[in-house]
Structure formats: structure tokens, C-alpha cells
Structure 1
């Protein structure tokens, strides 16, 4: 019981907690950006401070389809039966890790600003060379437009450098200069 006999309890207040003897569950709240990616959730694990050297596999029970007042979606997970040894108990804090399924055929995720069109086809500028960089047009197929200004495209290939700004001012063979990488001391990339 959470209250003593004779105490006044407000409407909607829990008065009793029942703890089951079955497999413990983990409850987390995820933001809308993660909720929109729920189809790509692949695996779930958690770590608990009390068991610093163990990673516990979890399985998804449910995700509430409606956000709470904080614009978070409640997600319930349970410990897998094949977890060896002692499991965490009710009330212990856990850090949950969500693994995403990245299908090889899904494509590359790039900023939408890198895309440009000509004659009804979509292209990106691929940067070739390291010192004397030039660009050439590469046709791509846009598979999906994502939120936050990104696109999923086929046809670029991994480890290729592309132009992401000023794409409409370039033409085939133009020379470009690569921006220097941010240093560890340039926090926020302001310098």
C-alpha cells in the first residue's frame, strides 16, 4: 500500500503496487523522433549499475501509440528467458540500448541539400581526388525522404564524398575545396 488507512487520496492516484514474481520488465519513454523509427528497431539490451559486467538481452512487449503529456512514448520491454544468472529486481535503474536494423538495400542517408535535378533525373555531385578535387554528377534514386532534411538514396556507394551545399552553382569537372575537419579543441565547430 502507498497510503495508510483513513488517508485522503486524490482521483487517479495509485494506492497499491502489485509486484509479480514473473520475469521483470523495463519501462522507458522515447521521444517522437525514435518512435517514428520503431519499424527499424532490431535488438534491445540493457545494463544495470549493480551488475557492471553484464549486458541483459530484452524483448519488446509494447510501445504506446499515444504520447504522454511530455510528448514521450512509453515502451515496455522484458528480460529474455535465456538471461543467465540473477536478474535485476524492481526499482533498479537500467540503461537501455536500442539496436537498429540497417538493411543493405535501404540505401545511403544523405542531406537533402545534396540533391539536384536535371531532365527529370536526380543527381548528387561526387568529389574525386584528395588535393585537386573535382566533381562529377552521379545519378541517384531517392528511396525515401526522411524528417530533419535527409533522404535515403541508392546509387552513391559507401565511403564516397559528396557535395552538400551549393550544388546548383556547380558544373561537371568544377574544382572544389574540402572543408577542414573540426578539431577536438574546436567544440561546436565555431572556429
Structure 2
């Protein structure tokens, strides 16, 4: 009888122990989470480019000849009137000497014609000179005068030709390219040097054709230095080349900068980010989704109770690592981003405040 009592008592104690285990509270789980931050701009890509001058000019000599010397190098800053390059002036000097010799000869003829016309006029006034001789002298004077003007013009032209053997700039600029070297023979008007005006700068990038055809007025361009992305400014599209480059199949875009930081020197490498205004949407890690029974949900953390609950969301876009939600979550809400399959509604969680914000 005592043995039976002991067995029954042990069974009762065993059942009581099982009841206590079943009633044990759910364990508090630590979770990874992030604060929802809706996006109102959709990124269309990032492209490399350079800072260039809006206005560039290519200069050449106004006369032909052999380049004797280049006075400045690429990157040099020049002022109005500075000499960029010079030709061998031998031919121009010889032409000037010849023109000056012709002028001296015509000046001598002009002096002689003046004296002859004056003499014939005096003879005619005293009544001993013939009218025909006077007419001839005056005609010779006019002809010689015209020749004198022609000779003077030839000298002026020869001087100009000599001055054209020096290539000068008429505005402040930066030398960006040389198309000819010292010792090279160039013709009149041939491109020799390219100058850029540094006062107005712009960003230049090459866009894929498919993207260039989809540009809209609400596009936002952010231009940043590749060396220091904190140096940046906004920009607007000023010009888009109508035809794509035959080799790269890209179209060149020129952007007007809202302001020009000092670090944006000519030739500076930049990165340009394109974005477009969109309806508010939220981007989360793909691991935040809980997909079951044909529904797409996420776990929302109650900041007061420190518990979780599910909420259905509308999926807009999915990539291997992220998802974009069109609706279902609000700005500032905290969403669980890992371990979503092991949670239960109402379960208490521990949130690390240093999780991704």
C-alpha cells in the first residue's frame, strides 16, 4: 500500500513539473533591425566625368611657316597679348624689306613728280610753258601719288604678315592642348593650340544612349569630386549631343553647375549621380521579408512594448540583396531585418539601438 502511494505521489509531482514547464514565458530574443527611411528620389546611376570650360577656342597662325618655338606648355595660364608660339620670320622679314624698298623708290618718284608739276605750273603761269606739258606733269603726279599709297599699303601688309608670325591670345585662358610642335611646318589657319576660358566651368559626362533618351526635366544631377565626395554641388542639363559616339554608343552631356567649388579645377575627375523624383518608397534588406501563405509581410517592432507584430506590405522591386516597398511601412518605424522566420506575434525582443538607422 505504501508503495502504491509513493508511485501515485511521484506521478502527481511529475505532472506538476510538466505543467510548470508549459507555462514558462517566451524567451526575449535579440534582433537586428533598422529604421524605415522612405526615399523620394530614385537613383538612375553614377557616371564618371570631368570638369571642363564651357568656352574653348582653337587658334592657328594667320600665315604659313615653320614653328620656331612654343612659349607655353599645356596647363599654363596666359593673359591677353601673351605669345603662345612663333614661326621662323625669315620669309615675312624679306617681304617687309622688299615692300619698304618699293616704297622708297615710289617716294623718290613722288618727290620728282611734285617738283616737275610745280615747275611746269610756274612756266605756265609766266606764259612760257605749254598746257600739254602741264597736264602731263599733273597726271604723272596723280599716278605717282596712287603708286605711293599702294606702296605704303604693301608695307603695312608686310608688317602685319610679320606680326602674324607670332601667335598671341586675345583673352585670359588656360592652354589645354597643342596640335603642333616646334619644327613642324603649318599652313595658314591650321589648328595649333586649344585654349579654355576658366571663368565658366561645367561638368561633362557620357551617358548610355538608352538613358539619354529617357532624360526628363525633373532629373536631379549631383556632381561630386572623386577624390573628396564631400565636395559636391547640384547641376542641370545644359546640352545633350544629338548623336551617339560611333565607338562607345554614348552621348555627351554638358551640365551647368549651381556653384563651382574651388576644388573643381579644369580637368578634375568627378562622379555624377542621376536621380529622379518618385512616389515615396522604402528600401529594406531582402532578409526582412516574411513570405508565407501567398502574403508578403515584415515584422514591426513596437518601441514601447518591445514586441513584434507582422504587417502586410506591397512589394515594388526586388534585387538579390534588397527589396523596395511601395506601401505598408511608415517613416520612422523599426523593421526586423534578420531571423524573421523564428519570431512569433507579440514576442518580446531586444533591439540594439546601434543597428542600422
Q: Could you tell me the TM-score, scaled by structure 2's length?
A: 0.33
Residues in 2 aligned to 1:90 and 1:166: alpha-carbon distance in whole angstroms: 50
Alignment correspondent of 2:322: 150
Give the drift of 1:74.
Answer: 8.6
Is residue 58 from structure 1 mapped to residue 238 from structure 2 by the alignment? no
Alignment correspondent of 1:52: none
Is residue 42 from structure 1 mapped to residue 219 from structure 2 by the alignment? yes
Gap runs ≥5 in structure 1: 8-14, 49-54, 183-191
Alignment correspondent of 2:78: none
Instruction: Spell out, residue by residue over 1:76-106, the C-alpha distance to the aligned partner (whole angstroms, 9 max, x if none).
Output: 33327xx79xxxx982648666463342x34
Q: SS at 2:349's partner residue? A: coil
Give the drift of 1:146.
Answer: 3.6
Instruction: Spell out, residue by residue over 1:10-35, the C-alpha distance to the aligned partner (whole angstroms, 9 max, x if none).
Output: xxxxx975759xx75422589xxxx9
Residues in 2 aligned to 1:179 and 1:156: alpha-carbon distance in whole angstroms: 20
Match of 1:121 among 281, 285, 295: 295
Is residue 101 from structure 1 mapped to residue 271 from structure 2 by the alignment? no
Report which of the two has the higher share of helix. Answer: 2
Alignment correspondent of 1:159: 332
Gap runs ≥5 in structure 2: 1-177, 185-191, 226-231
* Contact 1:127–1:163, Cα closer than 8 Å, also in 2: yes
Alignment correspondent of 2:341: 168
Residues in 2 aligned to 1:19 and 1:169: alpha-carbon distance in whole angstroms: 64
Residues in 2 aligned to 1:74 and 1:90: alpha-carbon distance in whole angstroms: 23
Give the drift of 1:134.
Answer: 0.6
Higher relative contact order (CA 8 A, sep 6+): 2
**CA distance 1:94–1:139, shift in 2 (3 Å):** same
Residues in 2 aligned to 1:29 and 1:127: alpha-carbon distance in whole angstroms: 45
How many equivalent pairs are there? 150
* Contact 2:296–2:312, Cα closer than 8 Å, also in 1: yes
